[in-house]
Amino acid sequence: MDTVTIIVPCYNEEEVIDLFYPTVQAHVEKIPDCRFDYVFVNDGSRDRTLDKLRELSAAHDDVTYISLSRNFGKESAMMAGIDYAAGDAVIIMDADLQHPPSAIADMIKYWRDGYDDVCGKRVDRAGETWLKRSCANLFYAVMKKFSTSYEMQRDVGDFRLLDRRCIEALKLMRENQRFTKGLFTWVGYRKKEIPFEVQPRAAGTTTWNYLALFNLAMKGMTSFTTAPLRLMTFLGMIISFGAMAYMLFVFTMAILYGDPVAGYPTLMTVMLFLGGIQILSLGIIGEYLAQIFHESKRRPIYLVDEIDGKRMIYTPQFVATEINAKPKKEFDS
Ligand code: UDP
Ligand code: MG
């Protein structure tokens, strides 16, 4: 009998939680010799998500919920799920049913065939705007060019099955600025991509916007390649050579032909160009500096408030331990 834990990060998903469990359960019940359990992570929702999860876990033995102390972002919420998942494998799924539960049977099949990381690859990005698609294309192209040690998987997201080996490896990587997609790739092991179509959101609204996507892309680049820094060095060299050549040209023109070179326009162009490049390079250095700044503090990736109704306290060895606290009333008196 295999055990598989389904991890579901939830942020303001009150409308879909009740739908999620029976829908997924209907699919996984049919899979033979496999016992499923669920870890829902409440990522500091501001709506009734936590209440819904309490009800769900009270009604079903196979449901655990972890409630974080505030909103930490999907990447951190997934990590919380990975830390607490007990199964021989985990499957990470969005709460909004955009990831089709019908794909789970295939994932299990490939896992049993010996694959460690069975990832859903979206076959259509049709529901997305032209701009979003182009941005995604650009991102993958840049990452492919610059990350030398391994290749970022295309159109592959967080919908995937991970073997225990991958989970233990991911647990070792406690970095704060988590670009999970890159981390999955970094881990390696045997990967299999299975195609799936992204479903429309069952209910609720997406939390993503262009700024968030841009930030994610920047995080991806700064945490997985230092190539932009190198690029700036090259650019600086090329510009210096260009400036030297131009100086020689002006010099020759003045000496040989007594040609008075137009001062203002040339100066203006060169100054603005160089100024731009300088600010850009400073910005790029700043991005990496910011990464070092965040990582050097070594803060935990998330804090747990409660697990299945039990109050939790942070301890470095166990990440969260049940706190043997007195009821709040006694503290107050
Ligand atoms: N999510 C989360 N924390 C956040 C934002 C999102 O746990 O701060 C969860 C959300 O509940 C959902 C999944 O991440 O299960 C994907 O989010 P969403 O559907 O908003 O993104 P999209 O599918 O549009 O990319
Ligand atoms: Mg979604």
Query: Looking at the predicted structure, is the pLDDT value of residue 330 above 80?
Result: no
Identify which ligand lies nearest to the alpha carbon of 75: 1
Query: Looking at the predicted structure, is the pLDDT value of residue 164 above 50?
Result: yes
pLDDT on residue 245? 82
Residue 10 Cβ inside 6 Å of ligand 1? The answer reads yes
Query: Looking at the predicted structure, is the pLDDT value of residue 144 above 60?
Result: yes
Give helix 49-59 / helix 14-28 axis angle, nearest 10°.
30
Query: Looking at the predicted structure, is the pLDDT value of residue 331 above 80?
Result: no
Residue 306 Cβ inside 6 Å of ligand 1? The answer reads no
Kindly tell me the burial class for residue 121, based on how many C-beta atoms sit within 10 Å of its own C-beta (0-12, 13-18, 19 or more). Answer: middle
Mean pLDDT score, 247-274: 77
Per-residue confidence band for 43, with pLDDT thresholds at 50, 70 and 90: very high
Q: Cα(105) to centroid of ligand 1, in Å? A: 23
- Averaged confidence pLDDT in the chain: 83
Higher pLDDT residue, 249 or 93?
93
Give helix 74-84 / helix 164-172 axis angle, nearest 10°.
120
* Centroid of chain to Cα 21: 24
Residue 9 Cβ inside 6 Å of ligand 1? The answer reads yes
Opening angle at CA 19, ends 13 and 25, nearest 5 = 120
pLDDT on residue 324? 58
pLDDT digits over 95-132, tens only? 988 888 989 999 999 999 999 999 988 887 666 677 77
pLDDT digits over 220-245, tens only? 877 777 778 878 888 878 887 787 78
Mean pLDDT score, 290-301: 86
pLDDT digits over 13-35, tens only? 888 888 899 999 998 888 888 89
Angstrom distance (rounded) from CA 142 to CA 130: 18
pLDDT on residue 333? 44
pLDDT on residue 318? 64
Give the residue, by CA position, lying nearest to ligand 1 atom 21: 206
pLDDT digits over 49-98, tens only? 999 899 999 898 899 999 999 999 888 999 999 999 988 999 999 998 88
Sole residue written with tokens 């993503």? 208
Sole residue written with tokens 């655990």? 64
Rounded to a whole number of angstroms, the distance between the first and last alpha carbons of the chain is 51
Higher pLDDT residue, 195 or 125?
195
Give the residue, by CA position, lying nearest to ligand 1 atom 16: 94
**CA-based R_g, the chain, Å:** 26
pTM of the model: 0.76
Give the residue, by CA position, lying nearest to ligand 1 atom 18: 206
Question: Which residue type sits at 16?
Answer: V
Percent of the chain residues past pLDDT 70, beyond the cut: 90
Percent of the chain residues past pLDDT 90, beyond the cut: 23
Higher pLDDT residue, 139 or 192?
192
pLDDT on residue 70? 92
Per-residue confidence band for 268, with pLDDT thresholds at 50, 70 and 90: confident
Kind of pairing, strands 117-122 and 191-196?
parallel
